[in-house]
Amino acid sequence: MTVAVLTGIAFVLVLGVMVGAARPRRASGVSSLYVAARAVPPWWNGAAITSEYTSAAACLGTAGLIATHGSPMLWYPVGAAAGFVVILALVVAPLRRSGTYTLPDFAEWRLRSALLRRFTTCFVLVIGMTFIVAQFHAAGAVVKLLTGLPPWLGWAGVAVAALVVALAGGLGSVTSVQASQFWLKLVVFVGVGVACWWMAGGWHVAWFEGGYRAVAAGLAGAGDPSLPGVLAVLLSCALGTMGLPHVIVRVYSSRDGRGARRSIVATQVMLAGFCVVPPLYGVLGHAHVRGAATDEIVLLLPARMLPGTAGDLLTGLLAAGAFAAFLATTGGVLVAVGGALSACVTRAGARSFRVAVTVVLLCSVAVAALTAPAASVPLVLLGFSLSAATFCPLLVLGIWWRRLTDVGAAAGFVLGGGMTVALVIGERAGVKMGVLTSCPAPVAVPVAFATMVVISLVTPGRMPRGVVRMMARMHVPEPFAGPPTYRSSFRGDRSS
pLDDT tens, residue by residue, 149-178: 999 999 999 999 999 999 888 888 899 999
* Confidence category of residue 375, pLDDT binned at 50, 70, 90: confident
H-type alpha helices, 346-375: 350-370
Quick one: which H or E segment has residue 99?
none
Domains (range + CATH), the chain: 2-24+32-374 (1.20.1730.10)
Return the higher-pLDDT residue of 233 and 417.
417
DSSP 325: H
pLDDT at 308: 86
pLDDT at 494: 41
Length of the chain: 496
Q: pLDDT tens for residues 224-279? A: 777 878 888 888 889 999 889 888 888 888 877 788 889 999 999 999 888 888 88
CB-CB contact of 91 with 110 (8 Å): no
**pLDDT of 372 over the 90 cut:** no
Integer Cα distance of 229 and 232 in angstroms: 5
Best-predicted range by mean pLDDT among 25-29, 98-102, 452-456? 452-456
Residue type, 25: R
Residue type, 50: T
Q: Which residues are CB-neighbours of 450 under 8 A, at least 6 positions away? A: none
Residue 132 CB burial class (10 angstroms; 0-12, 13-18, ≥19): buried
Integer Cα distance of 9 and 443 in angstroms: 41
Quick one: which H or E segment has residue 12?
helix 2-21
Integer Cα distance of 6 and 29 in angstroms: 37
pLDDT at 110: 94
Q: For the chain, give the mean pLDDT.
A: 85
Residue type, 293: A
Q: Which residues are CB-neighbours of 372 under 8 A, at least 6 positions away? A: none
* Confidence category of residue 108, pLDDT binned at 50, 70, 90: very high
Integer Cα distance of 28 and 106 in angstroms: 24
Please calculate the CA angle 349-354-356 and round it to the nearest 5 degrees. Answer: 95
CB-CB contact of 23 with 172 (8 Å): yes
Q: What pTM does this model have? A: 0.90
**Residue ranges with strand state E in 60-195:** none
**pLDDT of 5 over the 90 cut:** yes
Instruction: Give the rounded percent of residues in the chain with a pLDDT score beyond 70.
Output: 87
Integer Cα distance of 264 and 470 in angstroms: 24
SS3 391: helix
Integer Cα distance of 131 and 275 in angstroms: 20
H-type alpha helices, 429-486: 435-438, 441-458, 467-475, 478-481
Q: Which of 131-145, 223-237, 475-489 has the lowest mean pLDDT?
A: 475-489
Torsion angle, alpha carbons of 181, 185, 191, 193, to 10: 170
